[in-house]
Amino acid sequence: MKKLLIIDFGSSKTPAIETMVYEFADYLTVPFEETNDTTAIDFDGVILSGAPILITEQNLSHYLERLNWIKSTEKPVLGICFGHQILGLLYHAYPARMKDCRTMNEIEQFAECPILNRLPQIFEMQEDHCESISIPEEFVLVANSDECINEVMQHEKKSLYGVQFHPEVSGNYGAIIFENFIQLC
């Protein structure tokens, strides 16, 4: 069975991530403050949780320095909400404020992406954010919505994926995203 590392940035939704991956993989959840560049060595993949942190109002250098190892990992990484944003910031994305989006929202997929296999072109996911990021260097935009330009992104060459929404609280379509990600690990 695959082993996943869930890096928890303090999200109230982290238990829902654990519930989603429990069916498909063994996992260990580690608070961000307890991680370093060797934390992921014994795992097949990494999930970066959401967080109650506003990227436009915080100095994020501590997060970026501690997570810089992601840029050289060969392991698949899935960033969710804050995890998506921090993944993008590692690759020089720009943060931006936007209007609050805290409901189910239609996401439109317009490029192939392995974590979206078996999902329709337009699908609904739960949003819970008021910020977004630009498309980072070395990443391709995969899906957007009327609310947010960068809903799903993937690295051009590595297995790095980011979703702005919360698949862990989005029902069956969210479960498919986790299953697809774990198959990549």
pLDDT for 90-118, tens place per residue? 999 999 998 877 789 999 999 999 999 99
- pLDDT score for 146: 94
- pLDDT score for 135: 98
By annotation, the residues acting in catalysis are: 81, 166, 168
Instruction: Give 128's pLDDT tier (boundaries 50, 70, 90).
Output: confident
Kindly give, in sequence order, each residue whose CB lies less than 8 Å from that of residue 182, ignoring residues fewer than 6 positions away.
2, 4, 21, 24, 25, 45
Instruction: Check whether 23 has a pLDDT greater than 90.
Output: no
> How confident is the model over 159-179, as pLDDT tens digits?
999 999 999 999 999 999 999
* pTM of the complete model: 0.97
d(CA 174, CA 160): 17
- pLDDT score for 103: 86
Position of tokens 């739960």? 126
> How confident is the model over 30-76, as pLDDT tens digits?
999 999 889 999 999 999 999 999 999 999 999 999 999 999 999 99
Q: Which CATH class is domain 3-184?
A: alpha beta
Domain ranges of the chain: 3-184
- pLDDT score for 145: 96
